[in-house]
Structure 1
Amino acid sequence: MRILGILTLLSGPALAAGCPQLPDYSPELRNLIEQADRAPDVRAGRVVSDAMWKVWLRAPDEVAQGILDTGLRRRDAYDFLGAIGEFDRLVTYCPDYAEGYNQRAYIHFLNGEYAAALTNLDMALNLQPLHVAAQTGRALTLMHMGRISEARAQLLIAVENNPWLPEAGLLAKDAPLGPQGSDI
């Protein structure tokens, strides 16, 4: 009992209370996907892409936002071990928040741990199927694993949801995920 009390004190009272229920971001994301499809140029497309990121990075409460922000700062400082620790805390605290898994996947990807990245991306997409960044990350991970046809299929879905993704270039002729063979 004493250890449980110490762990609760170390993790803070807010973490002991638990993560609130997440709002359904799907309608907002569907609207942004429609805006991306209608965007007339790259500049407008990037504005919509940035708006999508603002949705995904909107944590369900202040505690989760603090953990996410700390993890992002650690990631940006190349403190990948510290970042993984923060994202582990985030998915423990908010197991239904897709961005915790997406960010943890990104660290695994950067470390060349593609199987772990794929597991986390699958979790993120299970929670938020319209997470275009996780779709793109999954495509890149599959590509690095040599699973080219799966990577191409996944990236086609991501590009359908946001045609302004820089990774869309990977689908061009002679690109790593481009068409195979020759058209007759």
Structure 2
Amino acid sequence: MRILFAFLTALLVSGATSMPARAADDQPAAPATPEAPAAPMTKQARLDKLFSDLKRERNEKAAERIAGNIWSEWFQSGSASIDLMMLWSQKAMDNQKFDVALDFLDQVVTLQPTYAEGWNRRATVHFMMKNYGKSMSDIDHTLQLEPRHFGALSGLAQIMALTGHKQSALEAWQKVLAIYPMMRSAQDQVATLSEELAGEGI
């Protein structure tokens, strides 16, 4: 089982010029310089815009593309060595070598504790190993750093459901939908859990 999705990116900007005025002493004025291009958006600004777009989007495929762009931003650690360890951890996970993956991810969260995706990836490994308590601890770290992390919230919802806490699972899926309204799996889970809880008289 995975708490993962897709990836991609884009944005633009321009400037203007004005005619130079003649100086009073009849000397030619210095040519007007074009306005400097706007500074590139910060990672946080890009994420804020993507999340705003994701919340408004009502086309499922378009929403998936936006979510993919968000994952792309999340994966960027800003460190070549961290990126390499994340790559190695993914390869280890793909080969079911979870202990090896954890070794890499322990280093990632130690070296860069503010990198939310390091915590989320380690939460995923613990989830796959059925270490639900440890997974929840890492999910908590992820959400402290990025409260909008719909992947981590999805993982929390799955753990709650697997451990018999249906109401908590429903609430977690509802939080996912508040961030990513078009996520089909979250919609399905909310519908299923709501029916089950209604049938149980809750």
TM-score (structure 1 length as normaliser): 0.78
Aligned twin of 1:11: none
- Pair 181,119 (structure 1): closer, same or farther in 2 beyond 3 Å: same
The 2-side partners of 1:85 and 1:74 are apart by: 10
Using the TM superposition, give the Cα deviation of residue 178 of structure 1 relative to its aligned residue in structure 2, in angstroms. 2.3
Q: Please say if 1:98 is aligned against 2:102.
A: no
Using the TM superposition, give the Cα deviation of residue 133 of structure 1 relative to its aligned residue in structure 2, in angstroms. 0.9
The 2-side partners of 1:145 and 1:29 are apart by: 32
Q: Which moved more, 1:80-89 or 1:163-172?
A: 163-172
Q: Which residue of the other structure, out of 162, 171, 178, is the alignment partner of 2:194?
A: 178
- Look up the equivalent residue of 1:178 and give its one-letter code: S
- Look up the equivalent residue of 2:194 and give its one-letter code: G
Report the number of matched residues: 157
Whether the aligned pair in 2 keeps the contact of 1:114 and 1:144 (CA below 8 Å) is: no
Write the mapping of 1:101-120 to structure 2, written as runs, cut at 5 A: 101-120=119-138
Residue identity (%): 24
Q: Which moved more, 1:30-39 or 1:151-160?
A: 30-39
Q: Which residue of the other structure, out of 144, 148, 158, is the alignment partner of 1:130?
A: 148
1:120-167 deviation per Cα after TM superposition (whole angstroms, max 9, x unaligned): 100111111121211111111222122221221111111110123242
SS in 2 for 1:181: helix
Aligned twin of 1:52: 70
SS in 1 for 2:147: coil
1:33-79 deviation per Cα after TM superposition (whole angstroms, max 9, x unaligned): 22122324221011011111101111121111111111112112222
Aligned twin of 1:153: 171
The 1-side partners of 2:121 and 2:136 are apart by: 12
Q: Which residue of the other structure, out of 42, 47, 53, is the alignment partner of 2:60?
A: 42
Aligned twin of 1:67: 85
- Pair 121,98 (structure 1): closer, same or farther in 2 beyond 3 Å: same
The 2-side partners of 1:149 and 1:107 are apart by: 25
Q: Which runs of 5+ in 2 are unaligned?
A: 1-41
Q: Which residue of the other structure, out of 30, 34, 49, is the alignment partner of 2:48?
A: 30
- Pair 25,151 (structure 1): closer, same or farther in 2 beyond 3 Å: farther
SS in 1 for 2:198: coil
Q: Please say if 1:121 is aligned against 2:175.
A: no
Query: Runs of 4 or more off by more than 6 Å in structure 1?
Result: none
CA RMSD of aligned residues (A): 1.9
The 2-side partners of 1:126 and 1:155 are apart by: 18
Q: Which runs of 5+ in 1 are unaligned?
A: 1-23
The 2-side partners of 1:29 and 1:121 are apart by: 19
The 2-side partners of 1:35 and 1:101 are apart by: 25
TM-score (structure 2 length as normaliser): 0.72
Higher-Rg member (1/2): 2
Aligned twin of 1:142: 160
The 1-side partners of 2:166 and 2:43 are apart by: 31
- Look up the equivalent residue of 1:155 and give its one-letter code: W
